[in-house]
């Protein structure tokens, strides 16, 4: 946690001068202040930790909250960590509450290690009922960092971005992506980079059987393209300097896509001052149309490979 209570006041860990007397605003138990040159100053519960506000918080989580807050504060935007945005006491505090220039607030939530789709959906719907759009931010883990590093150098700034195909993504990240029409954001705690991404359901081609041909050997006969349940094709754009980030908000209708129930209400996503999201959107539309022309609908027989693979009569 980055904020604790002391003598009835909320104190930020980075600004705390004393080392004792802090209590958790949520559960009221004593907190200790942790400081270090490498770590982000934060408050910690003493074990055993039973407080729900402390669950799933990691060093990367602390850093992400503080980095985004500081980037917005530097530009004189109103940003506050660990604020209760939704009145419902069953809800956790928001990682970062940001005031939108046109009025209203947006809730920025950093991925937690223990996040489930059910929890993400409940929280998103709860924010939506309170007319607060929520923007879920992922953290780049070792596996994703490896894929980013293997991407073409400099391609992150091109309209095509870094193309990470068939990337396994946790269910909550796929849900959050669908909620915002494929949009997503990932923060890398190791490098400080922020990537803005677009995800598509990954597809695979399966040839159900093969026919032997004495002249040419075995050939694929038939086959179908199908959606991969846990993998996405992800395009990442960036790294985007945090000082260039802005938030856009809109609304979405309820929908059921790929077995996921998406609630209706306000949504939000990151963009840059110079309109990166619009450029990605234009590229993505062209890409989707081209892919649909080649692959057809998920589950449909592949038009070209089926014919091409069939031995001549
Ligand atoms: Zn607590």
Q: Ligand 1 centre from 57 Cα, in Å?
A: 12
**Ligand 1 centroid to residue 62 C-alpha, Å:** 15
Looking at the fold, whether 112 and 239 belong to one and the same domain comes out as yes
Q: How many angstroms separate the Cα of 37 from the Cα of each of 14, 34, 235, 281?
A: 12, 11, 34, 40
What does pTM read for this prediction?
0.85
Co-location of 65 and 44 in the same domain: no
Q: What is the pLDDT of residues 155-197, one digit of tens each?
A: 777 778 899 999 999 899 999 999 999 999 999 999 999 999 9
Closest CA to 101 of 252, 273, 242: 273
Pairing mode of beta strands 183-187, 162-168: unpaired
**Do 151 and 240 belong to one domain?**
yes
From 11, 30, 55, the end of a domain falls on 55
Per-residue pLDDT of the chain (313 residues; tens, 9 = 90+): 999 999 989 999 988 887 789 999 989 999 999 987 667 899 999 888 888 888 778 889 999 999 999 999 999 999 999 998 887 766 778 999 999 988 899 999 998 877 889 988 999 999 999 999 999 999 999 999 999 999 877 777 777 889 999 999 989 999 999 999 999 999 999 999 999 999 988 888 776 656 666 665 666 566 777 888 889 999 999 999 999 999 999 999 999 987 889 999 999 999 999 999 999 999 989 988 888 887 766 555 554 444 444 444 4
The span from the CA of 230 to the CA of 202, in Å, is 8
Ligand 1 centre to CA of 120 (Å) is 21
Q: Does 99 lie in the same domain as 136?
A: yes
Question: Which is nearest to 139 in space by CA: 182, 187, 183?
Answer: 187
CA atoms within 13 A on the CB side of 76: 0
Query: Are 71 and 44 members of one domain?
Result: no
What's the 95 CA to ligand 1 centre distance in angstroms?
14
Strand pairing class (134-139; 105-110): parallel
Residue 222, in any domain of the structure: no
Residue range of the domain that includes 35: 1-55
- Residue 185 within any structural domain of the chain: yes
138 inside domain = yes
What is the number of structural domains in the chain?
Answer: 2
In this structure, the answer to whether residues 42 and 82 fall within a common structural domain is no
30 and 120, same domain (yes or no) = no
Distance from the alpha carbon of residue 269 to the mean position of ligand 1, in angstroms: 30
């Amino acid at each position: 946690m980055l904020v604790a209570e002391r003598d009835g006041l909320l104190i930020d860990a980075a600004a705390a001068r004393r080392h004792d007397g802090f209590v958790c605003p949520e559960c009221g138990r004593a907190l200790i202040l942790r400081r270090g040159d490498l770590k982000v100053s934060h408050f910690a519960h003493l074990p055993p930790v039973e407080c729900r506000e402390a669950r799933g918080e990691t060093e990367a989580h602390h850093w992400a909250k503080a980095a985004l807050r500081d980037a917005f504060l530097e530009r004189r935007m109103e940003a506050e960590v660990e604020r209760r945005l939704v009145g419902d006491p069953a809800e956790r505090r928001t990682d970062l509450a940001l005031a939108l220039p046109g009025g209203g607030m947006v809730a920025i939530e950093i991925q937690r290690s223990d996040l489930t789709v059910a929890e993400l959906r409940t929280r998103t719907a709860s924010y939506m009922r309170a007319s607060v759009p929520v923007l879920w931010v992922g953290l780049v883990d070792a596996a994703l960092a490896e894929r980013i590093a293997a991407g073409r150098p400099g391609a992150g700034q091109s309209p095509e971005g870094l193309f990470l195909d068939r990337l396994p993504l946790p269910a909550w990240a796929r849900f959050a992506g669908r909620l915002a029409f494929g949009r997503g954001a990932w923060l890398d705690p190791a490098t400080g980079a922020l990537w803005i991404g677009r995800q598509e359901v990954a597809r695979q081609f399966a040839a159900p059987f093969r026919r032997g041909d004495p002249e040419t050997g075995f050939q694929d006969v038939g086959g179908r393209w199908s959606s991969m349940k846990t993998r996405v094709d992800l395009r990442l754009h960036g790294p985007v300097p945090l000082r260039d980030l802005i938030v856009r908000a809109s609304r979405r209708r309820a929908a059921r896509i790929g077995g996921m129930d998406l609630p209706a209400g306000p949504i939000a996503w990151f963009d840059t001052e110079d309109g990166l999201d619009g450029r990605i959107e234009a590229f993505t539309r062209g890409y989707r149309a081209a892919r649909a022309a080649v692959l057809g609908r998920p589950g449909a027989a592949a038009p070209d490979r089926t014919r091409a693979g069939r031995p001549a009569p």
